[in-house]
Amino acid sequence: MPRRSRAAHDECRKRRARGQAGFTLIELLVVIAIIGVLVGLLLPAVQASRAAALRLQCVNNLKQIGLGLHNYIDQRGCLPPGYVSTYDYLRGREMGTGWGWASQTLTTIEQGNLYNQINFSLNIEDPTNSTVRLWQVGLYLCPLDDMPRTWTAADGVAWIYQNQLYMAQQAICDVAGSNYVGMFGVGEPGVDGDGVFFRGSAIRPLDIPDGLTQTLCVGERCVNRNAGYPHANIVGTPIKNVGRGHATWVGAVANTQLWSCAPSPYEPDGGTCMREDGSGMILGHTGEGHGPGDPHSDVNQFLSKHDKGAHFLYCDGHVLFLRNSVDYNVYKALSTREKGEVIPDGY
């Protein structure tokens, strides 16, 4: 055979050999199936890792809030007031200004510029404060929560009819959302709580004889975890994102009403709509017989997107995740500052 013909023949054989080196259809399907199994095995781990990272960021938020509160104590000698307001005893209403503990500590969490734009002598709802009250502070938001970043504080009524929730509300003002509220104590938030935050409070470390390491200071709030009706039929003028158990960093808007509405047996107040004081926008409590993170709690309690519990900042600055299964008497004892309860180790 001529040399050129032999070379051409060899090249043809090489091309056929290369063509036969590819995957068959069955082999390709097997590879795809293996890849699918691996992705299925890895995806939960990736999701768990992401959730753990977001949870850690939530813990860090609370620790930074704790540092800010301790810096405030260093400057003023006491914790900031739960919220500031005068009271009209004739009409039985809060008059404002309403600014709460989280707004008072802005300078100690590196938000001094925001603090300087607030006119603390005027009510939260005053038009002068219309921009600043909507400002979203990242430190006050749990990254795992998808609650509305702004919501409407309103006054009005709510009721249940034929297993449907109805609300007739008058908007007061929009406010920025938050996922952290101060500890009022056991009873309904408002005046003279047995925790560390309430109307006009100025609690010093010496006023917490139960111990800073055994007294809760700030906890999580997630409106989406409340067992009440997730949607309401609005009677009258529609209000976007009207608050029923939402929280905010700004304070307690005067005359705002929150509502705990859920069918029995889930609602601790008996299966009807119960009016909750507007101070629940900035404060939470441990009463009603439900532990932290229980979706059957009232809207002004402590709820989170973390499974079966909520994170809490203690008065000494450490953060702990309290599970819903914690002994309820221990949970209540941790929320008070001076009742002298004995807290067992490892609760």
DSSP 243-274: -SS-B-SSB--TT-EEEE---TTT-TT-SS-E
Instruction: Tell me the average pLDDT across 152-157.
Output: 90
Instruction: Tell me the average pLDDT across 208-230.
Output: 85
Instruction: Tell me the average pLDDT across 177-189.
Output: 96
Q: Is 164 helix (H, G, I), strand (E, B) or coil?
A: strand
Q: Is the pLDDT of residue 201 over 90?
A: yes
Instruction: Tell me the average pLDDT across 186-199.
Output: 93
Q: Is 138 helix (H, G, I), strand (E, B) or coil?
A: helix
Q: What residues form DSSP beta bridges with 346? A: none
- Per DSSP, 92 falls in state T
HSE-up (13 A, CA, CB side) for residue 88: 10
Write the pLDDT tens digit of every residue in 277-321.
Answer: 899 999 999 998 889 988 888 889 999 988 889 999 999 999 999
How many angstroms from the chain centroid is the CA of residue 6?
80
pLDDT reported for residue 238: 64
pLDDT reported for residue 309: 94
User: pLDDT tier at 260 (50, 70, 90 boundaries)?
Assistant: confident
For 58, list phi and psi in degrees, rounded to 5: -60, -45
Q: Burial letters for 210-235: b for 16+ Cβ neighbours within 10 Å, e otherwise? A: bebebbbbbbbbbbebbbbbeebebe
Alpha helices in the chain (DSSP H): 3-19, 25-76, 101-104, 112-116, 328-334
User: pLDDT tier at 227 (50, 70, 90 boundaries)?
Assistant: low
Instruction: Tell me the average pLDDT across 248-263.
Output: 89
Instruction: Tell me the average pLDDT across 132-152.
Output: 92
Write the pLDDT tens digit of every residue in 14-55.
Answer: 555 554 556 687 877 888 888 888 777 777 766 667 777 888
Q: Is 3 helix (H, G, I), strand (E, B) or coil?
A: helix
Q: Are 322 and 313 in contact (CB under 8 A)?
A: no
Token couple for 171: 């908007």
Could you give the percent of the chain with pLDDT greater than 90?
Answer: 56
Token couple for 272: 């009807």
3-state helix vs strand vs coil in the chain, percent to 5: 30, 25, 45
Token couple for 201: 């409070």
pLDDT reported for residue 1: 46
**Which range scores top for mean pLDDT: 5-9, 187-191, 196-200, 301-305?**
196-200
Looking up tokens 């307001």, which residue turns up?
85
Q: Which residue has the higher pLDDT, 174 or 23?
A: 174
Q: Are 322 and 330 in contact (CB under 8 A)?
A: no
Give the span between the Cα atoms of 285 and 260, in whole angstroms. 14
Token couple for 121: 């002598």
Q: Is the pLDDT of residue 250 over 60?
A: yes
Write the pLDDT tens digit of every residue in 99-137.
Answer: 999 999 999 999 999 999 999 999 999 999 999 999 999
For 213, list phi and psi in degrees, rounded to 5: -80, -10
Q: Is the pLDDT of residue 168 over 50?
A: yes
User: pLDDT tier at 194 (50, 70, 90 boundaries)?
Assistant: very high
Domain boundaries, the chain: 44-334
pTM of the model: 0.83
- Per DSSP, 23 falls in state P
- Report the number of secondary-structure helices (H) and strands (E) in the chain: 5, 12
